[in-house]
Amino acid sequence: MSKFEELLVGIVNNLSDFEIIQNQNWYRIPTDKAERLIKNRWPPMWIAFYYTNTIKDFPQMIIHYAKVSKIETVTRKQLFPDEKENYKSKRNYYKISFKKLETISKPILSRRWRRIVFIQTTHKKFKNAVEVNDLFDGSRLEDRLWAEFKRNGISAERQEVVKIDEKFYFLDFAIHCKKGKINIEADGDRYHHNPEFATKDNLRNNDLTSKGWNVFRFDSYQISEKMETYCLPTIMTNINKLGGIDFDETAMKRFKKHNPDLNYPIYFEEFE
């Protein structure tokens, strides 16, 4: 993948950061967080911003992006010289400066509230995205499942972050139903051929199950050869069993306003 394609979506959850982006053309990320979460695809050539509900004019959407012009390591004191000295003053940040802030013609929306950390994607995916879930780079099997979910109107979330005790799990797909939650995992062949992965997956399954998640794992053969006869019927049948999709009504209303031709059913009648 060309480094010139790399695009980072940063999260903006307060008005002061929003105003800095709008008026000063820079964004900050703690260096330790960047090393932990996004070092494999650093540095980005482009940056975009996901605004949370705090930003009232652009809630739960991406509408602004820019070409990165410079990335430098600075302290918080250098970023905010007028701020009173505190325990964060010497903390290191990446200051990402960018050129003119651009506005996309149609916002990239989220269909429900969710915890988002950073999204690493490509400029091409960004330009083609309808919703936030379209931005995630997954495995070949995950991308195949996602394409089928979109084709069949299955309301799933990609890479949803779930915190259980002090552990964070990134789910391949999360489906929120009225009477429960479904986690779909695309395993490839690792689950059957690597005992270490199998052990970790077992512990993960137990943690998720203890918090009310129904976990379904599909391997490469099932996804490649039995999508229509096994994977989709299993998922749709269990959505129905759990009372149908539980939509985030506010987010979904906003999404439908911008995408009136897209349909996401609550139930799948053919699997009643």
User: Which domains, and CATH codes, for the chain?
Assistant: 3-134 (3.10.590), 138-271 (3.40.960.10)
State which amino acid sits at residue 122.
T
**Token pair belonging to 40:** 């494999």
CB atoms closer than 10 angstroms to residue 248: 17
Assign 35 to helix, strand or coil.
helix
Phi-psi region of 262 (alpha: psi -120 to 50; beta: other; left: phi over 0): beta
Residue pair 115/170 in contact (Cβ under 8 Å)? The answer is: no
Q: Which of 243, 233, 241 is nearest to 266 (CA)?
A: 243
Asked if residue 43 has a cis previous peptide bond (ω within 30° of 0), the answer is yes
Tens of pLDDT, residue by residue, the chain (272 residues): 455 599 999 999 999 999 999 999 999 999 999 999 898 899 999 999 999 999 999 999 999 999 999 999 999 999 999 999 999 999 999 999 998 999 999 999 999 998 888 999 999 999 999 999 999 988 999 999 999 999 999 999 999 999 999 899 999 999 999 999 999 999 876 555 566 666 778 889 999 999 999 999 999 999 999 999 999 999 999 999 999 999 999 999 999 999 999 999 999 988 76
Expressed in angstroms, the distance from the first to the final Cα of the chain is 44
pLDDT for 1: 47
Residue pair 100/84 in contact (Cβ under 8 Å)? The answer is: no
pLDDT for 189: 62
Q: Which of 90, 95, 8 is nearest to 48 (CA)?
A: 8
